[in-house]
C-alpha cells in the first residue's frame, strides 16, 4: 500500500514539479512579492470615508457629504463594495492588510492567465510579463479599484477561452454582480461578451449563442443590484465622452515606450493575419472574439494609458491563437521560461532584502514621498481646531488625504470630482486650477463658494499672490516647508 502511494507520488511529482510547473509557480511568487507594498494613491482617503459610512450605517452617501463645493450633487459610482472591503480590511488588518490584498489581486490576475494556457509555457509567462508591464500606470500605486477591473476582465477572458458550459454560464452573471460594485470598468466585460456572441453566430453555434445571450442578459440584470441601479450606466456614458484626458494623468495617451510596444504587437498581429485565409480566420475558435477585442482595446489604449492592461490581455489571447508553440521547441521554451522567471524572482528577493518593504506607518510614508510631499505637520496643526476651518479650499492632490485625517472639515476638491457638472459648465478640477493659479477674481470666487480657509501647497501662484498682496482678506495662520494655511 505504502509502496504504491510512493510510486503514485513519484509519478505526480514528475508530471507537476517540472520546468513548466516550476516556472509558473516561481512567477506567481515573484508577482506577489513584487507587488507587496503599501498603496500610495491619496484617493484612498475618501474611499475609506465612504467605506466607513457604509460599514457604520449600512447605507451609501447620496450627496457630497465630505465636501462643501457642490454639496447637493448626487455622485453615481460603482465603488461601494470596493469601499466597504477597503475599510473593513483597514479596520481589522491595517494598511499591511491592504498591501497583502493588493498583491493578492495582482497574483490572481497572473493565475487567470496561467490557467488559460495549462499546456503551454511561453504564453503564460509572456502574458503575465506583458500585462504587468503595460499595467504599471494603474498598478504602480498599489491597491486600487482599477486592479479589480483588470482582474474581472482577465477572469472573463479565462472563461471565454474555454468551451461554454453550464458552469461558465452561471459564473458570468456572478462576476458582473460583483464587478459592477467594485469598479466602472465592468462595461468592458459586456464588450467582450458581445464579441463572443458574434463569434458564436458567425460559426453557427446557435445553441451556445442562445446560452451566452441568456447569461449576458442575466449579467446585465445582476449589475442593476447596486446602490444606484441603472444610473451607473449613465455615469459610464458620461465618462465615455468627457475630456478627462485634459484633466487627469492616467487618462492621457501613453508615452513613446508604450506606443512602441503597441506598434510591435500590432505588427506581429497584422503580419500573421495577412498570411491567413479569411476562411481559416473564421474557422479557428476564439479568433473573432480575441481579434475584435484586440482591435477595440488597441484603439482605446492609444487614447488613454489606463486602458493598456485590457490591450495587453487581449493581445496575449490573440497572439496565442495566432502563434502556436511547436512541440519540438517546447523543451527549450520551458528551460528559457524557467531561467527567466528564476532570474526575475532572484532580482526581486535581492531588491527586497536590500530595501525591505515597510508595511507600517503608511501615512508617514506617503507624506514623505518626494514626488508630492503631503502636509503631515499642517494637518496636526488643524487637529482639534477644525472649527476654525469648517470649509477648506485645498490642493487637489491632498483632497483624499485631508478627508480621512480631518473628517470634521469639508474639502473643496478631490479625485471623485473631475467629471462632475457645475453651474459654470466647467470641470471642478478646471475651477480649482483657475483659483490655484490666482486668476482674476479668485478671491471673490472663494468667498462666493463659502471657503473659510485655504490649505494649499507652499509656493503656488495662489500662495505667492496672497503673500505679496495684503489687500486680500486672507491671513496666514500656519505655514511650513510644504503647506500654508490661510483663514478669511
Question: pLDDT (tens digit, 9 = 90+) per residue, 193-227?
Answer: 999 999 999 988 999 999 999 999 999 999 999 99
Q: Output b/e per residue, 126-163; b: 16+ Cβ within 10 A.
A: bbbbbbbebbebbbebbbbbbbbbbbbbbbbbbbbbee
> 399 is in which domain, residue-wise?
366-487
Whole-number pLDDT of residue 1: 45
| Same domain as 177, residue 126 | yes
| Same domain as 312, residue 238 | yes
**Last residue in a domain, options 266, 293, 325:** 325
| Same domain as 242, residue 309 | yes
Terminus-to-terminus CA distance in the chain, angstroms?
A: 85
Asked, for residue 128, whether it belongs to a domain, the answer is yes
- Residue 83: closest CA among 213, 196, 227: 227
Asked, for residue 430, whether it belongs to a domain, the answer is yes
Whole-number pLDDT of residue 280: 67
Residue 265 CB neighbours (<10 A):
21
| Same domain as 316, residue 170 | yes
**CA-CA distance, 375 to 372, in Å (whole number)?**
10
Work out how many domains the chain is built from and give that number.
2
- Is 0.95 surpassed by the pTM of this model? no
Whole-number pLDDT of residue 186: 96
Asked, for residue 87, whether it belongs to a domain, the answer is no
| Same domain as 394, residue 312 | no
pLDDT in tens, 137-190: 888 888 999 999 999 999 999 999 988 889 999 999 999 999 999 999 999 999
278 Cβ neighbours under 8 A, 6+ residues apart? none
Whole-number pLDDT of residue 7: 40
Which ranges of the chain have pLDDT less than 70?
A: 1-20, 23, 279-282, 325-373
| Same domain as 269, residue 129 | yes
| Same domain as 407, residue 303 | no
Amino acid at each position: 500500500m505504502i509502496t504504491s502511494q510512493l510510486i503514485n507520488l513519484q509519478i505526480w511529482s514528475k508530471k507537476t514539479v517540472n520546468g513548466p510547473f516550476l516556472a509558473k509557480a516561481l512567477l506567481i511568487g515573484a508577482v506577489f512579492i513584487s507587488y507587496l507594498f503599501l498603496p500610495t494613491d491619496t484617493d484612498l482617503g475618501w474611499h475609506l470615508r465612504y467605506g466607513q459610512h457604509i460599514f457604520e450605517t449600512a447605507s451609501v452617501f447620496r450627496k457630497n457629504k465630505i465636501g462643501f463645493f457642490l454639496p447637493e450633487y448626487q455622485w453615481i459610482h460603482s465603488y461601494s463594495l470596493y469601499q466597504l472591503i477597503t475599510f473593513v480590511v483597514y479596520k481589522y488588518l491595517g494598511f499591511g492588510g491592504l498591501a497583502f490584498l493588493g498583491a493578492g489581486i495582482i497574483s490572481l490576475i497572473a493565475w487567470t492567465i496561467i490557467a488559460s494556457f495549462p499546456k503551454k509555457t511561453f504564453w503564460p509567462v509572456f502574458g503575465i510579463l506583458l500585462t504587468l508591464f503595460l499595467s504599471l500606470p494603474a498598478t504602480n500605486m498599489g491597491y486600487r479599484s482599477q486592479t479589480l477591473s483588470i482582474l474581472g476582465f482577465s477572469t472573463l477572458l479565462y472563461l471565454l477561452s474555454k468551451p461554454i458550459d453550464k458552469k461558465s454560464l452561471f459564473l458570468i452573471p456572478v462576476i458582473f454582480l460583483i464587478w459592477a460594485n467594485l469598479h466602472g470598468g465592468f462595461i468592458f466585460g459586456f464588450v467582450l461578451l458581445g464579441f463572443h456572441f458574434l463569434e458564436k453566430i458567425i460559426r453557427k453555434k446557435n445553441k451556445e449563442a442562445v446560452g451566452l445571450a441568456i447569461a449576458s442578459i442575466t449579467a446585465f440584470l445582476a449589475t442593476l443590484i447596486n446602490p444606484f441601479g441603472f444610473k451607473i450606466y449613465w455615469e459610464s456614458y458620461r465618462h465615455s465622452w468627457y475630456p478627462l484626458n485634459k484633466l487627469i494623468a492616467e487618462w492621457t495617451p501613453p508615452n513613446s515606450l508604450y506606443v512602441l510596444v503597441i506598434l510591435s504587437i500590432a505588427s506581429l498581429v497584422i503580419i500573421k493575419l495577412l498570411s491567413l485565409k479569411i476562411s481559416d480566420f473564421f474557422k479557428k475558435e476564439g479568433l473573432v472574439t480575441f481579434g475584435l477585442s484586440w482591435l477595440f482595446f488597441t484603439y482605446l489604449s492609444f487614447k488613454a494609458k489606463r486602458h493598456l492592461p485590457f490591450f495587453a490581455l487581449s493581445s496575449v489571447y490573440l497572439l496565442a491563437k495566432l502563434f502556436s508553440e511547436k512541440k519540438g521547441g517546447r523543451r527549450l521554451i520551458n528551460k528559457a521560461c524557467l531561467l527567466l522567471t528564476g532570474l526575475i524572482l532572484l532580482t526581486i528577493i535581492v531588491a527586497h532584502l536590500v530595501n525591505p518593504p515597510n508595511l507600517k506607518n503608511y501615512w508617514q510614508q506617503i507624506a514623505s514621498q518626494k514626488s508630492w510631499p503631503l502636509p503631515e505637520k499642517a494637518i496636526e496643526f488643524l487637529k482639534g481646531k477644525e472649527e476654525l476651518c469648517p470649509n477648506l479650499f485645498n490642493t487637489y492632490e491632498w483632497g483624499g488625504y485631508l478627508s480621512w485625517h480631518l473628517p470634521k472639515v469639508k474639502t473643496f476638491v478631490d479625485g471623485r470630482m473631475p467629471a462632475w457638472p457645475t453651474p459654470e459648465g466647467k470641470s471642478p478640477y478646471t475651477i480649482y486650477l483657475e483659483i490655484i493659479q490666482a486668476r482674476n477674481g479668485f478671491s471673490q470666487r472663494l468667498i462666493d463658494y463659502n471657503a473659510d480657509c485655504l490649505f494649499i501647497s507652499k509656493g503656488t501662484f495662489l500662495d505667492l499672490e496672497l503673500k505679496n498682496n495684503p489687500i486680500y482678506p486672507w491671513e496666514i495662520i500656519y505655514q511650513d516647508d510644504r503647506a500654508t494655511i490661510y483663514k478669511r
